[in-house]
Chains A and B, each alone.
Chain A
Amino acid sequence: MSDARSAILEQVARAVGRKNPVTQINENQGKQVAPKPQHIRPKWSEPDVERFVQKLKNVQATVETVISDTEIPAAVQRFLDNHNLPAKISVSPDPRLANLIWPDLVRVTSWQARREAVVGIAPAEAGVVETGSVLLVSGQTGPTSLNFLSENHIAIVHREQLVAHMEDVWELLRLRNEDLPRTVNFITGPSKTADIEQKIEYGAHGPKRFHVILVDGKKN
């Protein structure tokens, strides 16, 4: 369909007032006509952690703050107990969760298990304070499907991973110095729909519950 390509590009060139259509560009031309902009970023007065937690609660997510990583399994257990869930979890194969000790929980890892996961647990890359969003990315040890197939989704966010705006996430991704991960997810609350008579119902296709364990790193 290369003729469609040139036809469209010709028409666009005419429309923007070019004498000759452009069909090839060098790598930097796009950046030259539109350098990285500095758009307005919203400001707020409340402390970052407080805002992050409140924003999540506003969208019916739940949050538990713990002091250190070693407390994560107990926090997961509390979540399971609160919602009467079976003691079976699908944990992301991420090395950051490899050292956790799960005393009374059965861990499953197979693809089949992920398909049927009642509880999926994954470590976040960042938390965005502006909106209470949690960043998760795909990779060798980061199955995106876990974030959406699990009926209950638990994300682990460390306090030092909190960033103010989505723009800070863009900078984090650029620091990786490679192409973006195949999938970058900003998750802000559980799955929901209002497609039946404009009434909100949770757990449309993705998780019915979204729980964040915030590892604070210091004693209060």
Chain B
Amino acid sequence: MQPRSRDFKALSAKSMKDESLQGALRQLETGFVRARRDSASALPEFEALRDQARDRLDDVLANLDIHLLAYEQKVKSQGGHVHWARDGKELCEIVSKICHDAEAKKIIRGKSMIGEEAGLNEALESDGFEVMETDLGEYILQLSKEGPSHIIAPAIHKTKDEISDLFHEAHKAHGLTERQSETSALVAEARQVLRQAFLNADAGITGANFLIAETGSNIIVTNEGNGDLSCTLPRVHIVTAAIDKVIPTLEDASLLLRLLARSATGQEITAYTTLSTGPKHPDDADGPEEYHVVLIDNGRSEMLGNEFREMLRCIRCGACMNHCPVYGNIGGHAYGWVYPGPMGSVLTPLMVGLDEAGNLPNACTLNGRCQDVCPVRIPLPGLLKAHRVREFESRLTSSLVRYGLAGWAWLARNPVIYHPLMNVSMRVMAVLGRRRGAFRWMPFASGWTDVRDLPAPQGSTFQSIWRKRERGDS
């Protein structure tokens, strides 16, 4: 997917005027947010589990190469294949070659953010393969030719009406000519169409929530069961996963599973939690004949060695975006690439470049809600600040901002000038704003006053009030 993060401001403005998107975003608070709160408070061990997950994942990252090698060895010893890709382009080439060598023409996809990151569908289609997304949300987006706007609810921005139109148009080819308008009928229609795709597919590509070194397994969690059909029915199963998905033992999987669904949807566990290990055994009743895992780096090994290492703990639950006031106002597409919200604002600049996505880390109020809910306690606001520092240091910020900040910093470090200046301006502003109690317009502050009033100050600064109190005047 071609990044459009450069257009972040314009895309945000557009999103805020999009009525149906705003309606969908308003539901986050009563949906995901409330569900997470309820399920977290129903589990007394929840906070302790978060600590444990953070500490364990830090230990794992400190020996990531060993765990990757142990995992690779175990997969191979059970007849599976492990491939390594430095970036999305290499991943696409590898997957394409696997499908080509296996003479697979029809490919079905389970939901995977790595697939989005690498632009896998487009690459496979241009290589002549027939690719079909099977997660309902991803299927809808494939029909509407859009990227996901949320990592676990990719089509959250689509209305039922829009989906009715999409299905009506696309399903004519399957002999389904009536336009359906009820959710149940739409789901039933997608089930019918995709069931055929499942049964006819040659290869199934899924992601992985975790890779387990001890057993050489990959875990996927779903509610629809599409991932299971994708990795059971076709004769080739391909797993695309990032190197930071590897964990040492089955016990680590159960630890993280207790946090994942609760943080994502408020479920204790998803309908399906599935471990796939190698190809089918010789006598098995069903299962794929070939099992491939493609491990992708795409900037992660670099993050491991710099100030962004903690981001590699991320288990992709989406809680940070569900709780982010910025995401809640602009939705996922405004971020311009595949990962939105706080985790996206940290990852996107690292994966597509700070020059392309430098605006993302700036769109944060540092309210800290994301960090409060992150199941593995990633200090997201701190990482966003680290991007701002990088942006400033590599002179990517505008000169107005740079000189403005430099001027402010100089002023703030010179209290002899700073205090009198502030005292005077607060007094002046208090007098000027006395009548309305707020300003509708202010020079150099139209970015604020265009959309809301600026409250008038009371007349003295905090520091002068404090000094008075210290002297015992008040």
Contacts and interface: CB of A to CB of B under 8 A. Distances in A.
Chain A bound to chain B: yes
B371 interface: no
B49 interface: yes
A23 interface: yes
Contacts of A149: 229
Given A42-B258, A149-B229, A193-B136, A179 B215 contact: yes
Nearest to B164: A196
Contacts of B101: none
A1 B85 contact: yes
Interface in A181-198: 181-198
B254 A206 contact: no
A13 interface: yes
A204 B191 contact: yes
A182 B277 contact: yes
Contacts of B62: 16
A93 interface: yes
A203 B278 contact: no
Contact of B297 (A8, A197, A198): A8
A18 B154 CA distance: 39
Given A179-B278, A181-B281, A25 B225 contact: no
B224 A204 contact: yes
Q: By CB atoms of chain A within 10 A, which of B198, B228, B258 has the most?
A: B228
Contacts of B31: 198
Contact of B67 (A14, A30, A145, A189): A30
Contact of B285 (A11, A29, A140, A197): A140
A131 B251 CA distance: 16
A166 B187 contact: no
B261 to A, nearest CB: 9
A188 B225 contact: no
Q: Name A's interface SS.
A: loop
A181 B85 CA distance: 28
Interface stretch (A33-41, A73-81, A99-107): A33-41
Interface residues of A, number: 82
A217 interface: no
22 contacts: A1-B90, A2-B84, A4-B86, A8-B86, A8-B301, A11-B302, A11-B304, A12-B304, A15-B301, A16-B65, A30-B71, A39-B252, A93-B285, A138-B281, A138-B286, A144-B285, A144-B286, A144-B287, A145-B232, A180-B215, A191-B224, A195-B153
Interface of B: 24, 27, 31, 43-45, 48-49, 52, 56, 59-71, 73, 78, 83-86, 90, 94, 134-137, 140, 153-156, 158-160, 163, 183-184, 186-188, 190-191, 194-195, 198-199, 213-217, 223-226, 228-229, 231-233, 243, 248-255, 257-258, 265, 267-281, 283-287, 295, 297, 301-302, 304-306, 309
Which 3 A-B pairs have CB atoms at the shortest separation, nearest pair first? A206-B225, A30-B70, A15-B305
